[in-house]
Amino acid sequence: MSATEKKLSGKIAFVTGASRGIGRAIALRLAQDGAKVALNFASNSAKAEEVKSAIEAQGGAAILLQGDVSKFEVVTELIKKVVDEWGRLDILINNAGITRDNLLLKMSEDDFDKVISTNLKGVFNCTKAVTKLMMKQRCGRIVNMSSVVALKGNISQTNYAAAKAGIIGFTKSAARELASRGVTVNAVAPGLINTDMTAALSEKVKELMLQEIPAGRMGTPEDVANAVAFLVSDEAAYITGQVLSVDGGMAM
Ligand code: NAP
């Protein structure tokens, strides 16, 4: 690497849920590190456009790819677009996620299914869609967004915790399948991070959660992006099948 070359120069990344919050911060960070970034989102075109403009303003390259990660055929088409545009795909960040919180007694079947299909099946869909390509390239980095809730459980989040714990099992299994081809698969487990998702929580719930965080503060999307930037770098080539908590000590 020359002095002017960046860590991820020449790399192509696909980030799901890149219009807001953690996905946005990851996309910006990977672009700063030199990657070209495909920005996936569900419906918020205005926010996604802002991220694209911010990347371009820093001299980076980005494309927008609207589409629902829970639909396999949609995801396959999006991955094809990335490869048509840039010829390869080195980094997949499975970040898109939703919550539909409710006590088990009150949780509808639809709320359970929606969270599983977006948060867990979405990870399967995107990973499956890139697997052949990454195996052929004999290199690749996949990072899946789990959660502290997968490790500890949480009241009103049986659907979300099941999906996020499922991601950990998925990550370890995919890591075993792909390791010999130079593809690493890891999970990041954020704690309480300041985004639209947690803005929906009441102040009382946030206060209670803060008491459980040894670091004494919420995390920022950039805290999570820093960990992801490490896991996709060459320095992390020998790290696979791991779950990296980014939670101020919350899960320990
Ligand atoms: P957020 O601010 O609510 O943003 C969610 C992102 O996901 C948006 O870009 C949204 O797109 C996209 N998205 C939602 N459903 C989608 C679908 N079906 N297909 C494609 N994109 C979809 O969430 P966040 O807080 O940044 O969370 C990001 C990830 O981290 C999630 O997996 C979440 O579970 C996980 N996480 C978050 C926290 C936390 O404290 N915030 C903690 C642990 C784990 P639109 O803008 O178009 O809606």
CATH of the domain at 33: 3.40.50.720
- CA 2 to ligand 1 center in whole angstroms: 36
- For residue range 107-133, what is the model confidence (pLDDT) as tens digits? 999 999 999 999 999 999 999 999 999
- For residue range 26-64, what is the model confidence (pLDDT) as tens digits? 999 999 999 999 999 999 999 999 999 999 999 999 999
Contacts of 60 (CB under 8 A, 6+ apart): 31, 32, 34, 35, 36, 37
Cα angle vertex 22, ends 74, 47, to 5°? 65
In this structure, is residue 68 part of a structural domain? Answer: yes
In this structure, is residue 7 part of a structural domain? Answer: no
- For residue range 211-222, what is the model confidence (pLDDT) as tens digits? 999 999 999 999
Q: What is the mean pLDDT of residues 61-90?
A: 98
% of the chain residues with pLDDT over 70:
99
Q: Which domain holds residue 231?
A: 12-246
Mutate to test the pocket of ligand 1, among 197, 205, 217, 243 (most ligand atoms within 8 A of CB): 197
- For residue range 151-197, what is the model confidence (pLDDT) as tens digits? 999 999 999 999 999 999 999 999 999 999 999 999 999 999 999 99
CB 120 within 8 A of CB 147: no
Q: Catalytic site residue 238? A: no
Q: Is the pLDDT of residue 1 over 70?
A: no
In this structure, is residue 4 part of a structural domain? Answer: no
How many domains is the chain built from? 1
Helices of type H across the chain:
21-32, 45-57, 72-86, 109-115, 122-137, 148-152, 158-178, 196-199, 203-210, 221-231
Residue with tokens 């920022």: 220
Q: Give the per-residue pLDDT at 4.
A: 74
In this structure, is residue 5 part of a structural domain? Answer: no
In this structure, is residue 166 part of a structural domain? Answer: yes
- Global pTM value: 0.98
- CA 197 to ligand 1 center in whole angstroms: 7
In this structure, is residue 29 part of a structural domain? Answer: yes
Q: Give the per-residue pLDDT at 146.
A: 99
Report the C-alpha gap between 177 and 180 in whole angstroms.
8
- CA 126 to ligand 1 center in whole angstroms: 15
Mutate to test the pocket of ligand 1, among 16, 26, 28, 98 (most ligand atoms within 8 A of CB): 98
Handedness of CA 174, 176, 182, 184 (dihedral sign): positive
Q: Give the per-residue pLDDT at 3.
A: 62
- CA 24 to ligand 1 center in whole angstroms: 9
Neighbours of 53 (CB within 10 A): 10
Residue minimizing CA distance to atom 3 of ligand 1 = 197
Neighbours of 112 (CB within 10 A): 18
* pLDDT grade for 2, boundaries at 50, 70 and 90: low
CB 44 within 8 A of CB 52: no
In this structure, is residue 71 part of a structural domain? Answer: yes
Q: Which residue among the candidates 160, 162, 221, 240 is catalytic per the annotation?
A: 160
Using CB distances shorter than 6 Å, the residues near ligand 1 are: 16-23, 40-44, 47, 68-70, 95-98, 118, 145, 147, 190, 192-193, 195-198
Q: Is the pLDDT of residue 90 over 90?
A: yes
In this structure, is residue 6 part of a structural domain? Answer: no
